[in-house]
Amino acid sequence: MALLEVNDVHAYYGNIHALKGISLTVEKGEIVSLIGGNGAGKTTTLRTISGLLKPRTGGVTLDNEDLTQYKAHQLVSKGIAMVPEGRGVFARLTVAENLKMGAFHRTDKDGIVEDLEQMYTLFPRLRERQTQVAGTLSGGEQQMLATARAMMSRPSLLLMDEPSMGLAPVLVETIFDTIVKINKEGTTILLVEQNAHMALQVAHRGYVLQTGEIVLSNTAKELQKDPTVQKAYLGIE
């Protein structure tokens, strides 16, 4: 039984049919990447899994439990955390306050303190910026903060939406190194990323989306060799 199962999901924005029968799985311990062009349905898939968009038909389960019966904020305690596109940090709160917000549903004070220390070890820059207001951080620092805040909920599944967007190349490498490190420490990750080259380098498996449908799925290594993927997403003719 896969950790996450998305089964024949159809989702709409008003009359717009955004997802047309999406089915995918994520096994415990994997990094699975969703790649595709703008408007392919990548972010919509994450929004549906995280409860921000209710599917009209189809199912989403985590550990065999139906997620569609819950509201988005309830899914955090079920083990789902999302790092949204554009980071979405609380701009007027400090770095430390943002991190504590990530643990809003938790009552284990000692565990929260322990996880705060772990996040500061994973992201040393955040330790240096603990008292700084999040809105004044650089883009790369905000991405670190958004990721660390999501990890403070101790998710079994971390959803990441375009973590490299708008970052300098050197910071992109840092973010992807961190994704691998988080995964190796036990967190399963579903990654949406325009940078298909980097996404497939770190992923175990991948799905290719076009206009709301999955048109290809395979191991990340095989997708990197696929002529269609090479031409459309990797810039290889």
CATH for 18: 3.40.50.300
The model's pTM: 0.93
Domain shared by 204 and 165, yes or no:
yes
- Counting the structural domains of the chain, the total is 2
Query: 122 or 236: which carries more pLDDT confidence?
Result: 122
Judge if 148 and 163 occupy the same domain: no
Give the pLDDT confidence of 50-62 residue by residue, as tens digits: 999 999 999 999 9
Q: What is the pLDDT of residues 13-25, one digit of tens each?
A: 999 999 999 999 9
Q: Give the confidence band of 152 by pLDDT, cuts at 50, 70, 90.
A: very high
Residue 19 belongs to domain spanning: 4-79+155-233
Same domain, residue pair 104 and 192: no
Q: Is there a single domain that holds both residue 9 and residue 37?
A: yes
85 domain residue, yes or no: no
* Same domain as 27, residue 135: no
Model pLDDT, residue 189: 98
Report the relative pairing of strands 205-210 and 213-219 from DSSP bridges: antiparallel
Cα 67 from Cα 2, distance rounded (Å): 14
Write down which residue in 138, 154, 170 finishes a domain. 154
Would residue 88 count as lying in a domain? no
Rounded distance, CA 176 to CA 180, Å?
Answer: 6
Q: CA–CA separation, 215 vs 160, rounded Å?
A: 21
